[in-house]
């Protein structure tokens, strides 16, 4: 075992509060790094190795090439590129955008950061949030340069004080990842899939100089693939995403997030890259803050069609507790506030009773997913509130009174129940028949926790507080940026800006 390997082990064990175990049982754990770098037969040498092909990895690759890199390779664990990024909602928040100027929306990077700081409940990283907000428009421009297309309107998502969110015309993240993938390859970035990251390779000084991979890896065959060593002369950028589909790990943070709780993420979102950075001594931040999406539906798997449908319609719709026929939350509060409120909607025996979201069919049909939720039976069209009440056993009189009361808020612009921002409701008008209805129930969606980075995307060491040489990270694998709750549409700008930042830092 090399001195560097032993040091890494000591840092890892000390971080867990079991430093004494090193002396007592030095071989109790397998070596945390590979053999001496001088003994490795490298299969490939590049300037920059990027692990992960989502928003962060693709943006990093493009930016590195634009800043003078000659050899950049993106390694993807799965058989297809994009990871969670490809299946997310395609929602991108940025201040001072062309569409905001067209619609007369006043915004600024500071205002966007403040909205996120509020949702973070006092523990968000304000420096990083301001950095992302300041450069979000640059990242949005990269997507436009790549050929991404967006709906011709802005959305105001929960927790945002103004409308600042673009959404891809296909209403999913693939509307960005596919154009970015094409642009990356055009810029000269090499892409290789079915390459599972195993561990880092360090030199005698502790600098990360490469990675051990498993080539030809298949997710349904955990032991598949053969060893493959990649040397990275400038550094390694980790863009491996979160750990929402690692049931044991997420239950270690929150025991209620069992296998019975749904998840919107891809099968490969299991967090090995993050764990290996912890082995090197990276600082774990906010791992227990795991976000559930309040727009998800119990009537479909994964992210599905209802999620984007609900995100679009929440501002001008009502969420109804089936037990009472009444609203129970501000429909555009931040995600945690809404998810917590939904989880309280239960039968007397404590079992879940998913609440309803009721929208005017006329307004709902302005989003392409309206027809899809109806076609696939995860949403329903009704001609009257009495029909809705009968279908879901909701107190009919209370429901009619609630919708009438809400429509009064639409006319006056003041929500006397929950203080909802009624701007978009007033633009759409009253809720009226016919109606589109979906059921709501949160699903695990995003991990706020991960490794700590600085504003240059360098991964920090838990003992020294200094950067771990040769190691950079961006996106959901990092932690602490959003605090307790991430605002919707803020992950894409974060991933892309920090990916671009990592590339700029390396090439500087």
Residues known to be catalytic:
335
Write down how long the chain is.
508
CA nearest 160: which of 369, 335, 343? Answer: 335
Q: Which residue has the tokens 């999406």?
A: 293
Identify the three-state secondary structure at position 436. Answer: strand
Q: What is the dihedral of CA 52, 278, 225, 194, to 10 degrees?
A: -10
User: From the CB of residue 177, how many other CB atoms can be counted at a distance below 10 Å?
Assistant: 30
Identify the three-state secondary structure at position 272. Answer: helix
CA nearest 159: which of 453, 483, 444, 416? Answer: 483
For residues 322 and 392, is the Cβ–Cβ distance under 8 A? yes
Count H helices and E strands in the chain, helices first: 18, 19
Taking the C-alpha atoms of residue 256 and residue 474, their distance in angstroms, rounded to an integer, is: 28
Q: Which two tokens stand for residue 451?
A: 């490794």
For residues 493 and 57, is the Cβ–Cβ distance under 8 A? no
CA nearest 38: which of 270, 304, 229? Answer: 229
Strand partners, 357: 319, 438
Identify the three-state secondary structure at position 47. Answer: strand
- According to DSSP, the β-strands at 72-75 and 190-192 are parallel
């Amino acid at each position: 075992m090399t001195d560097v390997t032993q040091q890494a082990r000591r840092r890892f064990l000390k971080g867990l509060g079991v430093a004494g175990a090193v002396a007592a049982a030095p071989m109790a754990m397998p070596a945390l790094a590979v053999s001496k770098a001088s003994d490795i037969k490298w299969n490939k040498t590049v300037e920059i190795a990027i692990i992960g092909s989502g928003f962060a990895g693709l943006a990093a690759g493009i930016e590195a090439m634009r800043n003078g890199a000659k050899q950049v390779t993106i390694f993807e664990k799965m058989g297809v590129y994009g990871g969670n990024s490809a299946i997310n909602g395609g929602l991108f928040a940025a201040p001072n955008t062309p569409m905001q100027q067209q619609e007369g929306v006043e915004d600024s990077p500071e205002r966007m950061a403040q909205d996120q700081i509020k949702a973070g409940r006092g523990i968000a990283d304000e420096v990083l949030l301001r950095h992302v907000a300041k450069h979000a428009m640059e990242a949005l421009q990269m997507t436009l340069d790549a050929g991404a297309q967006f709906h011709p309107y802005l959305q105001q998502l929960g927790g945002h004080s103004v409308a600042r969110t673009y959404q891809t015309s296909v209403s999913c993240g693939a509307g960005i990842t596919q154009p970015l993938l094409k642009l990356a390859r055009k810029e000269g970035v090499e892409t290789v899939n079915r390459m599972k990251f195993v561990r880092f390779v360090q030199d005698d000084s502790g600098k990360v100089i490469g990675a051990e991979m498993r080539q030809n890896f298949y997710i349904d065959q955990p032991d598949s693939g053969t060893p493959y060593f990649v040397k990275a002369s400038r550094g390694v950028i980790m863009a491996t995403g979160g750990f929402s589909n690692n049931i044991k790990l997420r239950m270690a943070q929150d025991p209620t997030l069992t296998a019975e709780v749904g998840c919107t993420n891809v099968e490969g979102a299991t967090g090995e890259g993050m764990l290996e950075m912890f082995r090197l001594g990276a600082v774990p931040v906010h791992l227990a803050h795991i976000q559930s999406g309040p727009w998800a539906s119990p009537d479909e798997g994964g992210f599905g069609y209802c999620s984007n449908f609900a995100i679009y319609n929440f501002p001008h719709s009502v969420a109804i507790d089936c037990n009472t026929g009444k609203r129970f939350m501000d429909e555009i509060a931040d995600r945690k506030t809404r998810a917590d409120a939904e989880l309280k909607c239960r039968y007397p025996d404590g079992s879940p009773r998913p609440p309803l979201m009721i929208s005017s069919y006329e307004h709902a049909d302005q989003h392409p997913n309206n027809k899809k939720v109806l076609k696939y039976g995860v949403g329903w069209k009704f001609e009257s509130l009495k029909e809705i009440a009968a279908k879901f056993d909701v107190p009919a009189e209370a429901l009619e009174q609630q919708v009438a009361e809400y429509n009064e808020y639409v006319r006056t612009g003041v929500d006397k129940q929950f203080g909802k921002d009624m701007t978009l409701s007033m633009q759409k008008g009253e809720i009226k028949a016919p109606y589109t209805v979906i059921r709501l129930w949160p699903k695990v969606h995003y991990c706020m926790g991960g490794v700590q980075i600085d504003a240059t995307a360098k991964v920090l060491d838990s003992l020294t507080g200094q950067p771990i040489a040769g190691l950079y990270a961006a996106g959901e694998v990092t932690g602490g940026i959003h605090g307790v709750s991430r605002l919707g549409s803020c992950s894409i700008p974060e991933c892309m800006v920090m990916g671009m930042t990592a590339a700029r830092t390396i090439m500087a």
